[in-house]
Structure 1
Amino acid sequence: MKPYDVLVVDDSIFMRKIISDFISEDPAFRVAATAKNGKEAVEMVKKFNPQAVTMDIEMPEMNGLDALKAIMKEHPTPVIMLSSLTQDGARETIIALERGAVDFVGKPSGSISLDLHKVKSMLLEKLHMAVKTNVAKYAFRPSAVPPQPKEKPVQRFNSTLFTKPVELEKSDKPIFEPSSSNQIQQLIAIGTSTGGPRALHQVMSGMPPNLPAPVVIVQHMPPNFTKSLAQRLNSVSALHVVEAEDGMTLQNGTAYIAPGGYHMMVARNGPGMYRIYLSKDEPRGGHRPSVDMLFESLLPLKELKRHIVLMTGMGADGAKGMLALKQAGAVTTIAESEETCIVYGMPRAAVELNCVTDILPQQNIAMRLAQALK
């Protein structure tokens, strides 16, 4: 079989050589070309039509974020970002994932990073996934980055056809009135992986204010990146979004992102009160945090109306947990539809287990949740 063509983009000659050598060691890939900045990358994508691109972020003339935006608009191609492990690098990586990057690999710091060999297997694994992804249907467009909450009309919801787009009606009446009660009666739990930051941006920016439930989220992502993800989602959502800490008491209208490297669970903490607890237990199915670990922690909480969501991601993490929750009385179980998934893995696994009440494109998930909460 003909190898997949890959474009390597980095302003460092050393990095271009190292990354190219790594890619060339796998017979499934061929380095078609290299580029030293974003401007060259955009031109090379048009010229060579590669099946995947590895993209540095910090580069002269045009950085990786601007190049990614141009590529996704003009010639959509699967892009793997090479991300700095710094706080700034993490923040930029979240933006890149929102703009259409398929995934990222942490890039060791330093101008000459001999320990880059540590990420070789991860880079090749993600390239194998990327070349099978049809990013053309997820090309950068206005709907890919939802508007800020203050710029949107208040949403009201159609009660039917949740598997199809739902029309919104403008209204001056808020969906949920403010409540003085701190009692938790309902809870939303979301699991996602590859493509998740973009999907979460869509869903969280669509959540109405005064949501009468907390939201707990597992996104497969390393430490530091989950904090940047929480900060980014907090800036676009009417909800308060934080990276979870051990012992936090759940509050209605707040979303909690599981920190990278920790499993996140929920436990009862008194009548109508619940708290988060974190653990360093062994990874589940290669993941820590694990969606299944979160979902399984909700099984004893039958007094809660539980609304469960699985979105884009490789593998099957969360599917068995969703099945168990459905059998234990979960009110709503939503799988993101294939049409908007970057990788239709985790949602597909749930659908195949026949435990899904709704199959929805990501732009309809917030609408369905808000209606379910009412």
Structure 2
Amino acid sequence: MGKIRVLIVDDSAFMRKMISSFLEEDHRFEIVAVARNGKDAVEKVKELKPDVVTLDVEMPILNGIDALKEIMRVEPVPVVMLSSTTKEGAENTIIAMQYGAVDFIAKPSGAISLDIDKVKDEIIQKVYHASKVKKLNLRFDSQIVKSPITNVDNCSKIEKSVTISQGFSLSKKIICIGTSTGGPRALQQVLTRIPRDVDAPIVVVQHMPPGFTKSLADRLDSISEIHVKEAQDGEVLKRGVAYIAPGGFHLKVVKVGTSLAVKLDNITVPRNGHRPAVDVLFESVNELLDVAKIAVIMTGMGSDGTEGLKKLKQSGEVRSIAESEETSVVFGMPKTAIASNKIDVVARLEKIAEEIMKMMSK
């Protein structure tokens, strides 16, 4: 197998040199070129057709967002963004993820991070995993705002389903969604299709570091009918609201009287390297004995969510959905969940909201 051919794009010569040296130390990578701005990057992508691009967000002439849009238009390729952790940097990163970037790396200390070696292992890992992404799933659908579902009786055929013989007997319901790599775009496709009058709260775990989940929630809120927000400790869950776990915190759902509330936990250790973790969310929801649950696992590396799903399925009223391989940017988490035989429906990304609403109506 040949080496993974990487194009490094950054306006800082120091950053270009450091990222190149990190990757060149690993025998799996070959640096085919470097570029100092977005315009140069687009031209080199067309000419060299690299396997992966690392792309700085903030650059002169053509910034990272505009360069990404052009790359996805002319020559789709897996892109890993490098971003500052400022509010503006986080917002731009979320936009980049929704325009086709596979993943991102937060620079430790600003645009020119002299301590970039702190994320050396993360750079190597994420560039490697990006090289495994199917280019077919990188193209961005320019129709950013999707029409919400108003009729769930005419849903098109899905890839795999099992017969759900009876509806939920419990009146109180909760929708739980877990995702990782490729998740921001997947969440956009799903949450923008959920109608504002959905009769349940939605809790979301997206693997993402601190400082970025607020921007993700704000972005999704601006294009969705439902309200989307970053979850806060102790708040009572409301129907028609999606709560995204803050980076660095496990999100648990607990009973407070007759209501459901958020419990954030930054003390419990990460689960399989993740905090928040989908398994932790699912396990907490499993304790809610008088609540019907819909569990959704979408694109992402690894197997987070499967163990929690197994516990969910042992008791209570639970329906489960996994994203299909055809639309997953990374078919890791859904694949493991499907292999557990605990998934009721496997659906293409654009059909997941329909399947959720079908389950809600049963």
TM-score by length of 1: 0.90
Give the conservation status (yes or no) of the 8 Å contact 1:5–1:51.
yes
1:23 alignment partner in structure 2: 23
Q: CA deviation at 1:162?
A: 4.7
1:190 alignment partner in structure 2: 177
Instruction: State the alpha-carbon separation in 1 of the partners of residues 311 and 158 from structure 2.
Output: 23
Residue 146 of structure 1 pairs with residue 133 of structure 2: no
Give the conservation status (yes or no) of the 8 Å contact 1:184–1:213.
no
Instruction: State the alpha-carbon separation in 2 of the partners of residues 106 and 58 from structure 1.
Output: 13
Structure 1: which 4+ aligned runs deviate by more than 4 Å? 159-162
**1:278 is paired with a residue of what secondary structure?**
strand
2:133 partner amino acid: T
- Residues 185, 162 of structure 1: CA spacing in aligned structure 2 closer, same or farther, 3 A cutoff? farther
1:156 alignment partner in structure 2: 151
1:74 alignment partner in structure 2: 74
Instruction: State the alpha-carbon separation in 2 of the partners of residues 121 and 68 from structure 1.
Output: 24
| 1:230-309 to 2 correspondences below 5 Å | 230-271=217-258, 273-280=259-266, 281-309=268-296
Instruction: State the alpha-carbon separation in 1 of the partners of residues 241 and 344 from structure 2.
Output: 24
Give the conservation status (yes or no) of the 8 Å contact 2:148–2:194.
no
Instruction: State the alpha-carbon separation in 2 of the partners of residues 87 and 207 from structure 1.
Output: 28
Q: CA deviation at 1:246?
A: 0.9
- Residues 111, 307 of structure 1: CA spacing in aligned structure 2 closer, same or farther, 3 A cutoff? closer
Instruction: State the alpha-carbon separation in 2 of the partners of residues 348 and 137 from structure 1.
Output: 16
Q: CA deviation at 1:63?
A: 0.6
CA RMSD of the aligned region, Å?
1.7
Give the conservation status (yes or no) of the 8 Å contact 1:312–1:346.
yes
Instruction: State the alpha-carbon separation in 2 of the partners of residues 332 and 98 from structure 1.
Output: 28
**1:285 is paired with a residue of what secondary structure?**
coil
1:204 partner amino acid: L
Give the conservation status (yes or no) of the 8 Å contact 1:138–1:340.
no
Instruction: State the alpha-carbon separation in 2 of the partners of residues 108 and 218 from structure 1.
Output: 23
Instruction: State the alpha-carbon separation in 2 of the partners of residues 214 and 85 from structure 1.
Output: 30
1:267 partner amino acid: V
Give the conservation status (yes or no) of the 8 Å contact 1:91–1:228.
yes
Residue 42 of structure 1 pairs with residue 46 of structure 2: no
Structure 1: segments with no counterpart, 5+ residues: 166-182
- Residues 348, 110 of structure 1: CA spacing in aligned structure 2 closer, same or farther, 3 A cutoff? closer
1:277 partner amino acid: K
Q: CA deviation at 1:159?
A: 5.6
Give the conservation status (yes or no) of the 8 Å contact 1:184–1:252.
no
Structure 2: segments with no counterpart, 5+ residues: 161-169
| 1:117-136 to 2 correspondences below 5 Å | 117-136=117-136
1:298 partner amino acid: V
**1:114 is paired with a residue of what secondary structure?**
coil
TM-score by length of 2: 0.93
Q: CA deviation at 1:164?
A: 5.1
Percent identical among aligned pairs is 49
Q: CA deviation at 1:142?
A: 2.5
1:269-288 CA-to-partner distances (Å, cap 9, x unmatched) read 122x1111011211111110
| 1:90-239 to 2 correspondences below 5 Å | 90-110=90-110, 112-143=112-143, 145-147=144-146, 152=147, 155-158=150-153, 162-163=157-158, 185-239=172-226
Give the conservation status (yes or no) of the 8 Å contact 2:108–2:115.
yes
2:94 partner amino acid: I
**1:298 is paired with a residue of what secondary structure?**
helix
Give the conservation status (yes or no) of the 8 Å contact 1:77–1:136.
no
**1:136 is paired with a residue of what secondary structure?**
helix
2:302 partner amino acid: G
Equivalent pairs counted in the alignment come to 351
